[in-house]
């Protein structure tokens, strides 16, 4: 075959490949539109289901009825209750306040993220202002990434209602918080929601100090230096001008002050096994770190998983208060709130009698469990109910107002019974 023929064949093959790629991209765009349509349907169903549930309940306390439904929704969809709460509140806003946005989502003209941005940015405005911004913003959503669209909608809002910016900022500051998200390999993200001025000031100061240490010859990356300086200030009260050596030499383990429970297999603690330990509020950690924590920190409470913890698991029927030993055991066993899907840590929960103490319920390990205040109230004030089956110690079997059953298991890994 002549060289010219080979070249023509390669051109045709390249053109065919490009056509195929184009068709695939078109198909992906269509799929995104279908996903958007299904998302709109989910919002509509969530709004209608909540409205019907509240009508069927007919309770005087709308707030409790709403919470009971959202707990039901969270359990059915296997999502956190906060996610269910966001789903239903966004569904209400889209159905009642932003019908054009919901219609655009249903038709596949915008994506879920764009719809949620409009809910966040303009859902609380007066009807006239909301309608004007929605009309201007919707055509932009079809051609913008979510990040750019959010900036544009925020600018539209500030121009439309500039006078209430200060009031909204004051309200938003009430939501400031610090949260931790566990990651793998013994790491975690620590995030803070702060006033923008404070957040930028903190990051700028960390970055400037990190850069000065780098210029002085410190071998760590800027990211590592920012992280070490951050820990140094919060854990050891060192100023931002701390030297690189001081930051590098700090002993994190000795800086721990609050009570922390580390569950350590006894053979691992003795160096005869490599089974991981468990750090309360985080999860598995390597046994070397656990040994250092146990030996270095006076504020840690260690719980050996074998042979016996020594906890007083059953108390006299006349006693209502839970002993400190039993509290410690329950804290390790439960790990957090025992309502399905809830991730609130045990240290922030109530210890609840599954079978009411006033109705002959015992203060015993198989009749106690951690519930966050919200789900504690839900258990007593709505038709949600719970029991601890005797055949599987530590399990909680929940029954929802619709009769659905959900079982939550202890966070503490069950070990086989000894001889």
**pTM of the full predicted structure?**
0.66
Give pLDDT tens digits for 353-374: 988 877 877 877 888 899 999 9
Do strands 283-285 and 277-279 pair parallel, antiparallel, or not at all (unpaired)?
A: antiparallel
- Return the pLDDT at 321: 59
pLDDT at 74: 93
CA 373 to chain centre: 17
**pLDDT attached to residue 82:** 87
In sequence order, what are the residues at sequence separation of 6 or more whose Cβ sits closer than 8 angstroms to the Cβ of residue 186?
285, 286, 289
CA distance 8 to 17: 14
Using one digit for the tens of pLDDT, what is the confidence trace for 153-191? Answer: 888 887 887 766 667 667 778 888 988 888 888 888 899
Confidence (pLDDT) at 334: 86
pLDDT the model gives residue 248: 47
- Report the pLDDT value the prediction gives residue 359, as an integer from 0 to 100: 80
The phi and psi torsions of 193 (rounded to 5 degrees) equal -95, 110
Positions in the chain short of pLDDT 50: 238-259, 299-300, 305-320, 414-419
Rounded (10°) angle between helices 62-77 and 81-96: 110
For residues 137 and 284, give the distance between their C-alpha atoms in angstroms, rounded to a whole number.
Answer: 47
3-state SS class at 146:
helix
Preceding amide of 143 cis, omega within 30: no
The contacts of residue 294 (CB under 8 Å, 6+ apart) are: 262, 264, 269, 300, 302
């Amino acid at each position: 075959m002549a060289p010219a023929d080979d070249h023509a064949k390669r051109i045709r093959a390249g053109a065919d490949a490009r056509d195929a790629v184009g068709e695939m991209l078109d198909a992906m765009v269509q799929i995104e539109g279908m996903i958007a349509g299904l998302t709109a349907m989910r919002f509509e169903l969530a709004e209608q289901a909540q409205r019907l549930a509240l009508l069927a309940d007919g309770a005087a306390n709308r707030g409790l009825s709403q919470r009971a439904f959202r707990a039901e929704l969270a359990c059915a969809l296997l999502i956190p209750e906060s996610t269910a709460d966001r789903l239903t509140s966004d569904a209400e806003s889209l159905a009642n306040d932003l019908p054009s946005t919901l219609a655009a989502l249903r038709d596949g003209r915008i994506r879920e993220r764009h719809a949620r941005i409009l809910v966040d940015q303009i859902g609380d405005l007066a009807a006239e202002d909301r309608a004007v911004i929605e009309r201007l913003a919707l055509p932009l959503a079809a051609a913008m990434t979510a990040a750019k669209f959010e900036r544009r909608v925020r600018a539209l809002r500030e121009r439309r209602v500039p006078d209430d910016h200060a009031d909204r900022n004051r309200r938003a500051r009430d939501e400031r918080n610090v949260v931790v998200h566990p990651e793998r390999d013994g790491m975690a993200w620590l995030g803070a929601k702060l006033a923008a001025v404070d957040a930028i000031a903190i990051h700028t100061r960390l970055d400037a100090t990190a850069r000065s240490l780098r210029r002085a010859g410190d071998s760590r990356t800027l990211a590592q230096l920012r992280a070490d300086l951050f820990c140094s200030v919060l854990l050891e009260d060192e100023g931002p001008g701390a030297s690189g050596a001081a930051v590098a030499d700090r002993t994190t383990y000795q800086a721990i002050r609050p009570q922390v429970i580390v569950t350590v297999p006894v053979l691992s603690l003795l160096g005869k096994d490599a089974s991981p330990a468990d750090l309360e509020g985080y999860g598995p950690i390597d046994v070397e770190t656990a040994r250092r924590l146990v030996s270095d920190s006076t504020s840690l409470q260690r719980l050996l998983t074998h042979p016996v913890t020594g906890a007083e698991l059953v108390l006299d029927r006349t006693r209502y208060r839970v002993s400190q030993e039993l509290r410690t055991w329950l804290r390790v066993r439960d790990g957090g709130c025992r309502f399905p899907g809830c991730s609130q840590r045990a240290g922030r929960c109530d210890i609840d009698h599954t079978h009411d103490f006033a109705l002959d319920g015992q203060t015993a390990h198989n009749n106690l469990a951690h519930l966050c205040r919200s789900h504690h109230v839900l258990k007593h004030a709505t038709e949600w109910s719970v029991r601890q089956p005797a055949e599987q110690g530590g399990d909680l079997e929940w029954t929802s107002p619709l009769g659905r059953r959900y079982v939550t298991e202890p966070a503490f890994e069950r070990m086989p019974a000894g001889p």
